[in-house]
Amino acid sequence: MSFSIEGKKILITGGARGIGGESARHFARQGAHVVTLDARDEEGTQLAKEATEAGPGKVTYRHMDITKVADIRAGVDAAVEELGGLDAVFNAAEVMLLKPAEDTTLDDWNEQLTTNAKGTAYTCQAVFPHLKERGGSIVNLSAGVALTAGPINSASFSASKGSIISYTRTIALEWAQFGIRCNCVSPLVKTPLLDEVRAAMSEDDRVAHERFFEKSVPMGRLGDIDTDLAPVFVFLASDASKFITSQIIGVDGGLVPSR
């Protein structure tokens, strides 16, 4: 049993910044080889360059629009070719629309579910042929709001994340026979997205958002990607977690206990 990811071949969607991007840097520092897929080409290319220069692992960025099935398949196939195989997949691409439930339009629902739920599902489908001979680890990013109400105005986002949990547990059962482990992680960490979301809020909403998160976290703070979250990802990509599947793992300072 090994906690090492040295030499592991890892694919990350949504890897241009935030959780996906900083995890790619972390993995490369541990000697893993990573391909990141995202639609933020400038940020993704720059991050991959910096991570590769820092080494010892290598990070390669490729463009992929996760709302397009053909793009997902092409991106995954090209990534596996670049890596020379595949050991672990992290699905972090997402959009987060915050609107009152009564104002959420069909277009809002389509964007939210197409990017988050279907994007994750089609990526899992696209990596399956590459994992089914030797097994591997799929980690899908869920969210605490899939299991409990809040934050404000998150109905369609929460539903998209709830669907990721249901989907992940189903494929965990279907693909266990191939040695493919499928788990969800629900994080609570500081990212650029959080700053953007709060900047767009009214003062009242921002205060309510902060109250729900920072002030309710039993451990009293938001997490840090590099020191709090990425080490859990390393564990899930490593052979040390080879008997763990179908779990929802909260890395959120105890905010939303998983079940």
Ligand X SMILES: NC(=O)c1ccc[n+]([C@@H]2O[C@H](COP(=O)([O-])OP(=O)(O)OC[C@H]3O[C@@H](n4cnc5c(N)ncnc54)[C@H](O)[C@@H]3O)[C@@H](O)[C@H]2O)c1
133 vs 219 by CB, closer to ligand X: 219
Of 134 and 198, nearer to ligand X (C-beta) is: 198
Residue 4 or residue 125: which is nearer to ligand X going by CB?
Answer: 125
Q: Which is nearer to ligand X, 194 or 201 (CB)?
A: 194
Nearest-approach distance from CB 140 to ligand X, in angstroms? 8
Q: Of 43 and 87, which has the nearer Cβ to ligand X? A: 43
| Contact between 37 and 116 (Cβ < 8 Å) | no
What is the C-alpha separation between 243 and 232, in angstroms, rounded?
Answer: 15
**3-class state of residue 5 by DSSP:** coil
Binding site for ligand X (CB under 6 A): 14, 16-20, 38-40, 64-67, 92-95, 115, 141, 143, 186-189, 191-194
Separation CA 235–CA 14 (nearest Å): 20
Bridge-based pairing state of the strands 33-38 and 59-63? parallel
Closest separation between CB of residue 94 and ligand X, Å? 3
Of 176 and 197, nearer to ligand X (C-beta) is 197
Query: Which strands, in side-by-side order, build the sheet including 33-38?
Result: 59-63, 33-38, 9-13, 88-91, 136-141, 180-187, 248-251
Q: How far is the CB of 192 from ligand X (least distance, A)?
A: 5
CA distance 20 to 15: 4
- What is the closest distance, in whole angstroms, from the C-beta atom of residue 1 to ligand X in the complex? 28
| Residue number with CB closer to ligand X (7 or 192) | 192
CB count, 10 Å around CB of 38?
Answer: 28
Query: What is the largest distance, in Å, between two alpha-carbon atoms of the chain?
Result: 52
Give the shortest CB-133-to-ligand X separation in angstroms. 27
What's the CA gap between 24 and 58, in Å, rounded?
Answer: 9
Minimum CB separation of residue 46 from ligand X in Å reads 12
State in angstroms the smallest separation of the CB of 3 from ligand X. 23
Q: Where are the alpha helices (DSSP H) in the chain?
A: 18-29, 41-54, 69-83, 106-112, 119-131, 155-175, 192-199, 203-212, 230-237
